[in-house]
Amino acid sequence: MTSTPGPTPPASSLDPAIAARLKRGADGLVPAIAQQYDTGEVLMLGWMDDEALHRTLTTGRCTYWSRSRQEYWVKGDTSGHVQQVRSVALDCDADTVLVRVDQTGAACHTGDRTCFDADVVLPPAQ
């Protein structure tokens, strides 16, 4: 499966120290996992480039790059299902972003609370 090329990186105001650490895919994007800050519930996965990460860090709202629409989108701007940022971390390889958020409403575009509760292929051990 090939991915749609990401955005042409705009001149970003992302802190150069953070930008230097990021390991982006060939499309210039890194996966961004949104997690409910107080319960640990994994909500969704989106994609960010340097500018989306900068916007997320500076506005306190999650901004993603839509690979299908080829544009930035702020979670909740049209749906009202806002993600207020509580913290942002890079994984040990700096190739994935973890955004801990306070989710209002559904995180999934289908209307489900998370993107990971509708198609369980192995139930949790009892």
**pLDDT tens track for 87-101:** 999 999 999 999 999
Per-residue confidence (pLDDT) for residue 126, from 0 to 100:
78
Q: Exposed, middle or buried by CB within 10 Å (0-12, 13-18, 19+), for 47?
A: buried
**Would you state the pLDDT for residue 11?**
63
pLDDT, tens digit, for every residue of 35-74? 999 999 999 999 999 999 999 999 999 999 999 999 999 9
> What amino acid is encoded at 109 in this protein?
H
pLDDT at 117: 83
- The share of the chain scoring above pLDDT 90, in percent, equals 82
Q: Which residues contact 60 (CB under 8 A, 6 or more apart)?
A: 84, 85
The pLDDT of 104-115, averaged and rounded, is: 94
Q: What is the pTM of this model?
A: 0.86
**Tokens 């702020």 map to which residue?**
74
CB 29 within 8 A of CB 63: no
